[in-house]
Amino acid sequence: MNEISDSAILAALRRQMTVAAARQVAAAGNLANVDTPGYRAKEVTFEEALGRRVGVLAATDPAHLAAGLDESGIAVQEIAGPARRDGNTVQIDRELLTMGRAAGDFAAAQTAMAAKFRLVRYAINEAR
C-alpha cells in the first residue's frame, strides 16, 4: 500500500497557501489599478502553475503564451473580459470574490497544517 508521507502533506499545504497568497496579491493589485486607464486585470492560474512545475505544458497553448510568472514563480495571466470605455478590465465584485475565496483556501490549509503540528507536538509530549 502506498502511503502519503508527512512531508508530502506539508509540501502540498505549503503550495496551497502560496497559491492562495498569490491570488490575493493579484486581486489586490487589480483593485489598486481599478482607475488606471488601459489596465488589464490579472489572475493566478493554478493549473498553469502546476503545468509549469511538472513541465508538461505544451508551448503551443495560448494560455501559456499569454501568461507570465510573478516573483514567486506563480503563473499570472490577463483576464479575458469586457473592458470599460477607458480600456480597464477590472471588475470590483470579481476581485472581492477572488480575495474572499483565496482567504478561505489559505485559512483551510493553515488549519490543516496547525492540526498536523498539534499531532506532532502531542506525540513528542506524550513520549516523555
Number of domains in the chain: 1
Tell me whether residue 38 is in a domain: yes
pTM for the model stands at 0.73
pLDDT of residue 77: 85
pLDDT of residue 75: 78
Residue 61 domain boundaries: 6-126
Tell me whether residue 1 is in a domain: no
Arithmetic mean of pLDDT over the chain: 82
Mean pLDDT split into 10-residue runs, the chain, 128 residues: 80 92 94 94 75 51 49 74 89 94 96 92 83
Tell me whether residue 105 is in a domain: yes
Instruction: Answer for the pair 16, 109: CB distance below 8 angstroms, yes or no.
Output: yes
Q: Which residue has the cell 507536538?
A: 121
Which three cell numbers mark 12? 502540498
Instruction: Answer for the pair 56, 31: CB distance below 8 angstroms, yes or no.
Output: no
Convert the pLDDT of each residue in 4-22 to its tens digit. Answer: 888 899 999 999 999 999 9
Sign of CA dihedral 83, 34, 17, 71: positive
104 vs 119: CA distance, rounded Å = 23
